[in-house]
Amino acid sequence: MTRLLLAAASLAPALLAPLPVLALAFDDELLPACLAAAQTHGAREDCIQVAHLACLDAEWEKAEDRIGSMTACTQAATAQWQVRLDRAQAALMAWVRDGYAENLPLLEAEIAAFPVFRDAVCAYEARHYAHGEGGLIAAEACVMRETARQALRIESWNGGGR
C-alpha cells in the first residue's frame, strides 16, 4: 500500500502539469448542454467524456503529435470538470456551514481525502500500462473521469448543480 501511495504521489505532479497552449478543438459548451439534457444520474454520467471524446475525434486526424493532442484534450476536459467540482464544493460548504455546522468537519475531511484517493486510483490504473506513454495517458484519463464523478456526486448533494 505504501508503494502505491508513493507511486501516486510521484505521478500526481505530472498529471496536473499544464501543457503549452495549443489550437485545440475543445468545445466547452458540449458538457453543459449534455448535463442540461440529462434527466437521471446515469445520463449525467454518460456526459463525463462527451467534450473529451469530441476533442479527440476532431484532433486525431489533424494532429502531428497525437500523444500531445490526446493529453491536451484530456487536460482540457479535466480542467472543465475541476471548475464544476470546485463550484459544487464551495456551494455545499456554504450550505453545510449555514445549517449543518456539526457536519462541517466530515465534509472538509471528505474534500481533503478526494485528491489522495483519486491519485492513488489513477496511479494504480496507470500501472496496467506501465510501458511507454500508455500509462501517462491512462492516468490522465482516470484523473478526468474521477474528477468528473466527484463533481457529479457533490452536485447531486446540491440539488443537481444546475
Domain range list for the chain: 25-157
Q: What is the pLDDT of residue 13?
A: 52
| Torsion-angle region of 132 (φ positive above 0: left; ψ -120 to 50: alpha; else: beta) | left
Q: What whole-number distance in Å separates Cα of residue 124 and Cα of residue 135? A: 10
Per-residue pLDDT tens, the chain, 162 aa: give them: 444 344 444 555 554 555 444 567 899 999 999 999 999 989 999 999 999 999 988 888 776 777 888 889 999 999 999 999 999 999 999 999 998 899 999 999 999 999 999 999 999 988 887 766 777 888 999 999 999 999 999 999 875 444
Q: Could you tell me if 32 and 144 are in contact, meaning their C-beta atoms sit under 8 angstroms apart?
A: no
pTM of the model: 0.80
